Amino acid sequence: MNTPHLRFTDIDPSIEERVDTLLKQMTLEEKVGQLVQINLGWREDTDDWVREGRVGSILSLTDTQEINRLQRIAVEESRLGIPLLIGNDVIHGYRTVFPIPLAESCTWEPALLERASRVAADEAAASGTDWIFAPMVDICRDPRWGRIAEGAGEDPFLGSAMAQARIRGFQAADLTSERRIVACPKHYVAYGAAEAGKDYNTVDISERTLRDVYLPPFKAAFDAGAGTVMSAFNELNGIPASANAFTLRTILREEWGFPGVVLSDFDAIGELIHHGFAEDHKTATRKSILAGVDVDMMGNAFPFHLAALVREGQTPENLVEHAVRRVLRLKFMLGLFEAPYTDESLADQITLTGENRALALEVCRKSMVLLKNEGKILPLSNSIETLAVIGPLADNHHEPLGCWTLQGRDEDVESVLDGLQAVLPENITLLHVPGCEIEGGDVDFDRAVSAALAADVVVMVLGESLMMSGEAHSRAHLDLPGRQQELLEAVVATGKPVVAVLMAGRPLAIPWMAEHVAAMLMAWHGGIRTGRAVADLLFGNAVPSGKLTASFPRSEGQIPVYYAHKSTGRPIDIRGIIQFDRAHKSQYLDESSDPLFPFGFGLSYTTFAYSDLAVETPEIGLDDTLVVSAKITNTGERTGDEIVQCYVRDLCGSVTRPVKELKGFKKVTLTPGESQIVHFEIPARTLGFHGLTMDYVVEPGEFWVWIGANAREGLKGAFTVIA
Ligand code: GLC
């Protein structure tokens, strides 16, 4: 696991020479061919296209024999023998399916995500994948958007750390030491800011928000050496992202010097027509290649119009050649010319191994978030005699796989029931009643109520199917689907203590549940080890440590609700404004302004006390580092992990600044009674923003700093940045 990852952003002169030599031999059609990416369903005559050098890469193909067959045509039957790239969506595991990325981000452990990404990449590489269409690094502050499931939540600082970890993990894959894997951060850019949380919807944000919130995880990914990037479906401020010269050329190439390949999302170039940005495919082709897209994924644009545009002088051939150069460079760096074929015996040796399954369990346990634990009902006591397990997701082997499972199989999944049966002490009788479907179908509330009445404790496993999140699966209502709420209320009405295990691909608006159940465990869609992780946490074989990376709203009306919001001129806690009463503040008449559960929130089976905040550098220059610390003490009876967070606020700026911004986090393990001083060292250079001139600036002035357990609470101090 200690192979250094490959930085595709480092240019190797020897490879450049090989690219030059090859490029000089290529016809215009063969150059265009390298910029075409198709799947096998696209045409009947794919073999011919490959043989004629009209295809450069293939997506969504995992059959190793088929990959090798097509690769032989490319290498041994085409004129120049340029190998194909094989790209796949390995979003949260390949065959060893990990929790959805939003869940994984709740571990707040980049190193763990790096290991998980490495396993996913090795399994994918063993089956013939060269190009992983991940990590999805879209920041999202609207849980209606189904693709929030694929990312790392609402915060650019945390999102950047997770993006870098995944690039390191994916690009470290070196199964045969000749072949490598390249990652593809996506979707460039601001796809997660879709209006109303509706997928593919319009994005209209300020350049400052673009630069301060949505771009940083991409920059972090490229700084870690990511070799490609995928342009998004959405329009951004009137210009579709897959034909946006400002983001694709000015920022990506001129400001950042990114040398890698820009791949469009699935026919995003053709969709320029539907955006009303191009009259036809030929115009769409010209606009996107001029703006900076290199490869057309599944589009009827480049393959049919790019050569003609060059011949007609509407597109400079050197622009095409730059794009081809980037693709060829990638193929050389991936080792495809030396080792184009995949050893078909490899996959069975390294896929779904015991080690991979153990890692999936570790990630799964650490991704789950304990949201409530009234009266310490959890961990469940071995002294209970009867446990009722109720709900449509209790014995489900499919939904835990989550929204992007390429090779995931139901047969690999441990359901919650499986997990409980594996860990349940023999003296406990388990009663299982689904009670209703996830949505639709029959209900059996009576049997569920009877089981509850016969039990000492009830575990309810409720939530979303995997198809309720992910691409094209936005929801306007974030409640429990179907008749699950009725089932929940019927069981709670029995008066028995209820522990809710919630499965979903997003934060849900579940205030009734939060008020009426004794305990709540957010299990997300946890992948193949979901059931065992839930059971281990419920019975205390593991201690919850996960913390939220996306705020849970009380209602859809609050959205967007996120911690790093602005103060406004009428903050709810303002003092001294005598002419206005409380009503004249930025708030609702009919809803709190606070989320149900805030960013960074999560409970443990022990408790932690924060004390002795020390701002060791009360005054720092622009090139200095803020050093701040606090003492964390385990004040409970069990060893536990605590994710300690550090936030700052820039009190006054040339533009308004958020009321809090995450600038550091550390996870510490403490035994009962143990204390640890946790230090954060935060360079002043990281306290900046894009100012009036849209340049990144750090402005002298007063700052607050917090060290705390989540975005809502913490020990507060102050420091000054001086010029
Ligand atoms: C999809 C998704 C993108 C994915 C691509 C290939 O439409 O937007 O995330 O990588 O197509 O499957």
One-letter-per-residue 3-state SS of 206-275 = CHHHHHHHHCHHHHHHHHCCCCEEEECCCEECCEEHHHCHHHHHHHHHHHCCCCCEEEECCCCCCCHHHH
Specify the residue for token string 């990376």: 549
Contact 378, 497 (CB under 8 A): no
Q: Whose CA is nearest to atom 6 of ligand 1?
A: 266
Furthest C-alpha separation in the chain: 82
CA–centroid distance, residue 266 to ligand 1 (Å): 6
pLDDT of residue 695: 97
**Residue to probe by mutation, ligand 1, list 133, 234, 263, most atoms within 8 Å of CB:** 133
Same domain? 312 vs 374: no
pLDDT of residue 2: 55
Average pLDDT, integer, range 352-366 = 98
CB count within 10 Å of CB 652 equals: 11
Q: State how far the Cα of 97 lies from the Cα of 406, in Å rounded to an integer.
A: 9
CB count within 10 Å of CB 40 equals: 14
Q: Whose CA is nearest to atom 7 of ligand 1?
A: 266
CB count within 10 Å of CB 624 equals: 14
Same domain? 506 vs 638: no
Looking at the CA of residue 60, tell me the nearest atom of ligand 1. 12
CA–centroid distance, residue 199 to ligand 1 (Å): 13
pLDDT of residue 579: 59
**Residue to probe by mutation, ligand 1, list 88, 233, 265, most atoms within 8 Å of CB:** 265
Q: Which two tokens stand for residue 330?
A: 């990638």
CB count within 10 Å of CB 424 equals: 18
3-state secondary structure of 683: strand
Please, which residues have CB within 8 angstroms of residue 99's CB and are 6 or more apart in sequence? 92, 363, 364, 367, 402, 524, 525, 526, 527, 530
Looking at the CA of residue 89, tell me the nearest atom of ligand 1. 10
Residue 3 has pLDDT above 90, yes or no: no
Domain containing residue 489: 368-538
Residue 464, CA distances (Å) to 212, 535, 551 in order: 32, 19, 18
Residue 354 lies in a domain: no
List for the chain the helix, strand, coil content (%; round to 5): 35, 20, 45
Q: Give me the CATH number covering residue 640.
A: 2.60.40.10
Please, which residues have CB within 8 angstroms of residue 686's CB and are 6 or more apart in sequence? 663
CA–centroid distance, residue 152 to ligand 1 (Å): 17
Query: Which residue from 21, 86, 91 is spatially nearest to 60, judged by alpha carbons?
Result: 86
Q: Any long-range contacts for 13-20 (C-beta under 8 Å, 24+ apart)?
A: 15/329, 15/332, 15/333, 16/329, 18/328, 18/332, 18/337, 19/325, 19/328, 19/329, 19/332
Contact 334, 130 (CB under 8 A): yes
Q: Which residues pair with 642 in a beta bridge?
A: 668
Provide Rg for the chain, Cα atoms. 26
Q: Which two tokens stand for residue 62?
A: 């995992």
CB count within 10 Å of CB 204 equals: 13
**Final residue of a structural domain among 308, 333, 358:** 333
**Residue to probe by mutation, ligand 1, list 61, 86, 266, most atoms within 8 Å of CB:** 266
Residue 704 lies in a domain: yes
Quote the mean pLDDT of the chain.
Answer: 96
Q: Which two tokens stand for residue 690?
A: 């894009």
Using pLDDT thresholds of 50, 70 and 90, give the confidence band for residue 1. very low
Residue 546 lies in a domain: no
Residue 359 lies in a domain: no
Q: Which tens digits make up the pLDDT trace of 683-721?
A: 999 999 999 999 999 999 999 999 999 999 999 999 999
Residue 602 lies in a domain: no
Contact 179, 130 (CB under 8 A): yes
pLDDT of residue 321: 98
Q: Where are the alpha helices (DSSP H) in 406-483?
A: 416-423, 445-453
Please, which residues have CB within 8 angstroms of residue 206's CB and are 6 or more apart in sequence? none
3-state secondary structure of 93: strand
CB count within 10 Å of CB 692 equals: 10
Please, which residues have CB within 8 angstroms of residue 513's CB and are 6 or more apart in sequence? 462, 480, 488, 500, 502, 520
Q: Which tens digits make up the pLDDT trace of 652-675?
A: 999 999 999 999 999 999 999 999
Average pLDDT, integer, range 217-227 = 98
Q: How many helices (H) and strands (E) does the chain have?
A: 21, 27
Q: State how far the Cα of 402 lies from the Cα of 398, in Å rounded to an integer.
A: 8
pLDDT of residue 169: 97
CA–centroid distance, residue 538 to ligand 1 (Å): 36
Q: State how far the Cα of 270 lies from the Cα of 282, in Å rounded to an integer.
A: 9
Same domain? 73 vs 219: yes
Specify the residue for token string 């290498």: 75
Residues labelled catalytic: 265
End-to-end CA distance of the chain: 44
pLDDT of residue 178: 74
Q: Which residues pair with 295 in a beta bridge?
A: 263
Q: State how far the Cα of 136 lies from the Cα of 151, in Å rounded to an integer.
A: 5
Same domain? 288 vs 391: no
Q: Whose CA is nearest to atom 12 of ligand 1?
A: 89
**Whole-number percent of the chain with pLDDT over 70:** 98
Same domain? 389 vs 277: no
- What global pTM score does this model have? 0.98
Q: Whose CA is nearest to atom 10 of ligand 1?
A: 133
Average pLDDT, integer, range 524-532 = 98
**What is the DSSP track for 275-315?**
HTS-SSHHHHHHHHHHHT--BEES-SSHHHHHHHHHHTTSS
Contact 526, 367 (CB under 8 A): yes
Please count the structural domains in the chain.
3
3-state secondary structure of 67: helix
Q: Assign residue 435 a region: left if phi > 0, alpha if psi is -120 to 50, beta otherwise?
A: left
Residue 262 lies in a domain: yes
Q: State how far the Cα of 374 lies from the Cα of 518, in Å rounded to an integer.
A: 5
Q: Give the range among 176-185, 269-278, 529-538 with minimum mean pLDDT.
A: 176-185
pLDDT of residue 291: 98
Same domain? 281 vs 380: no
**Final residue of a structural domain among 538, 555, 570:** 538
Q: Which residues pair with 645 in a beta bridge?
A: 665, 708
Q: Give the range among 41-50, 105-114, 225-234, 648-657 with minimum mean pLDDT.
A: 41-50
Same domain? 376 vs 329: no
pLDDT of residue 123: 96
Specify the residue for token string 């203590």: 497
**Final residue of a structural domain among 275, 310, 333:** 333
CA dihedral 161, 164, 169, 170 (to 10 degrees): 130
For the chain, what's the residue count? 723
pLDDT of residue 10: 87
Same domain? 66 vs 150: yes
Q: SS3 letters for 593-629?
A: CCCCECCCCCECCCCEEEEEEEECCCEEECCCEEEEE
Q: Which two tokens stand for residue 292?
A: 């900076």
Q: Which two tokens stand for residue 478?
A: 């974030």
Same domain? 44 vs 98: yes
DSSP state letter for 399: G
Q: State how far the Cα of 151 lies from the Cα of 128, in Å rounded to an integer.
A: 25
Using pLDDT thresholds of 50, 70 and 90, give the confidence band for residue 578. low
Same domain? 39 vs 134: yes
Average pLDDT, integer, range 510-515 = 98
CA–centroid distance, residue 444 to ligand 1 (Å): 39
pLDDT of residue 64: 97
CB count within 10 Å of CB 240 equals: 26
**Ligand 1 pocket: which residues have CB below 6 Å?**
59-60, 89, 133, 186, 265-266, 471
Residue 702 lies in a domain: yes
Contact 175, 121 (CB under 8 A): no
Specify the residue for token string 């690009």: 171
3-state secondary structure of 380: coil
3-state secondary structure of 522: strand
Residue 439 lies in a domain: yes
Same domain? 97 vs 241: yes
Looking at the CA of residue 134, tell me the nearest atom of ligand 1. 10
Q: Whose CA is nearest to atom 1 of ligand 1?
A: 266
Residue 25 has pLDDT above 70, yes or no: yes
Same domain? 247 vs 101: yes
Q: Which tens digits make up the pLDDT trace of 326-341?
A: 999 999 999 999 999 9
Looking at the CA of residue 150, tell me the nearest atom of ligand 1. 9
User: Are β-strands 235-236 and 296-297 bridged in parallel, bridged antiparallel, or unpaired?
Assistant: unpaired
Contact 210, 189 (CB under 8 A): yes
Q: Give me the CATH number covering residue 469.
A: 3.40.50.1700
pLDDT of residue 580: 61
CA–centroid distance, residue 406 to ligand 1 (Å): 12
CA–centroid distance, residue 265 to ligand 1 (Å): 6
Q: Which tens digits make up the pLDDT trace of 586-602?
A: 999 999 999 999 999 99
Average pLDDT, integer, range 346-352 = 94
Residue type at 88 in one-letter notation: N
